[in-house]
Structure 1
Amino acid sequence: MKKNLIPMIAILPVGILAYMYNLISLLLLAVIAISLAVLLLAGIIKAFRSELNARWLRVPLLITAVCAAGIVIGLFRPLEPAVVNSGNVSDKLAYAYNTDQADRMTIRAYLGFLNDSMAKRDSIRLEQVGELYRNSQISKPMDKFYAAFIFHHSNHSSLFEIAQKLAGEAASESELKSDYVVQWLAKATYDRWMVSLGKPQKYGTQDKFSVSVE
């Protein structure tokens, strides 16, 4: 009885943490992968040895079950609004960038049946940032970086071109020349733009992805 209570009790704190923090779900996923690897190893050992301590099978299974329950609970955590309409331009762009990154640190971003939800959030951010760009309101170096990241996560060649323009301008600023992420984005946006046009990438930053060329 006690052996069954332990995993049931463990689900509570694990679930609470997964609900409160996005990264916990990714950590739980990693723990599940390790547990499954242990199970595979135990299965191989058992195939060659008739005797194997039952703990080698029971413990990884219990850990996997607890972590899976935590991940499911974490899926119910509400996301922050994709954008904010208050504050100045810098505030809006910084917020859009932060939610863009936070979204991609959640399990739901990698689950096919929830991808539509993520795509809608990307679309909301693109709409806001696109309007700011069309109104020539993006001028500060970090604002250009934030905006470029949002355009970078679109699926249109014309928006990749804008992303590359903004990222390149941000990367050329003396205050950002030592910022690794800013410099990386300038290269990544160029590669993505080129690949979207059917041309070879220059810096090797891109995996395969689909775009619509406009």
Structure 2
Amino acid sequence: MKKILIFALLIITVLFSYLVSWSEWLLLTVLFLGLVFLIILGLIRIFRKSKKILFQSAILLIGICLIGIFAGLFRPYEPALLKSGTISEQLEYAYKTDQSDRKQLRSFIPMFSKLQERDVLRLEKVKQINAEGELTKSRDKFHSAFIYHHSDNSADYKMASKLAAAAAKDEGLQNDYQVQWLRKAAYDRWMVSQEKPEKYNTQNKFSIEIK
């Protein structure tokens, strides 16, 4: 019965990690807590005996979390771009996948990451839309600026700053924190890329925003 429960828990963890995009961060948290618990048990055992089952349970929990995290690394990305829809819908979708990609653990592990190639796809699409003169709405400019912001060269950072500044001037977006933050961050990133000092100090401090 015990083995069946452990196997069931393992299967549930693997499925949860594979199907839910943020699951690996939860499993990492549980893994960390399990390690802390194991260390505490080890320290306690120096002074007095502790139940062996506690060690076994902690090790089992850590093992299940590791397997779950590993399973999550094989979760496929959503398509980087929307193949149909209005310009606004395509840009909003590109922005959302840009953000969701950066919330996945696999994006930070070179062996499993496809972040760079997906960034290239999004940037090419946004550049195409921009070249066709289709960036007329402020929200579209914001979404596009975020894509440009995740490029790797000064020219794109300049465009990100230009679009973000234009979006931030819209009366309907002046109280939007992300829009106003991007205006500052895109400008600072452009300055840093030219080896010039930042104006808003957004590149050298911790931010809760996905960069």
Paired residue for 1:23? Answer: 22
Matches within 5 A, 1:6-155: 6-46=5-45, 48-115=46-113, 117-155=114-152
Residues in 2 aligned to 1:36 and 1:51: alpha-carbon distance in whole angstroms? 19
Deviation, 1:137, is 1.0
| CA spacing shift, 1:205–1:54, aligned 2, 3 Å | farther
Equivalent position of 1:162 in the other structure: 159
Letter of the 2:34 counterpart: S
Letter in 2 for 1:83: L
Distance 1:168 1:55 in 2: 60
Number of equivalenced pairs: 205
Aligned partner letter, 2:76: P
Gaps of 5+ in 2: 206-211
Where do 5+ consecutive residues of structure 1 fail to align?
209-214
Partner of 1:200: 197
Secondary structure in structure 2 of the residue aligned to 1:30: helix
- Deviations 1:117-168, CA, capped at 9 Å, x for gaps: 2110111101101111122211101101100111111111111111111111
The answer as to whether partners of 2:145 and 2:164 remain within 8 angstroms in 1 is yes
2:73/2:112 contact within 8 Å kept: no
Structure 2 Cα separation of the partners of residues 189 and 126 of structure 1: 15
Deviation sequence 1:175-212 (CA, Å, 0-9, x none) = 0111111111111111111111112222222149xxxx
Amino acid at match of 2:202: T
Q: Report the alpha carbon displacement of residue 50 of structure 1 after superposing the two structures with TM.
A: 4.3
SS in 2 for 1:62: helix
Deviation of 1:4 (Å): 4.0
State the Cα RMSD in Å. Answer: 1.7
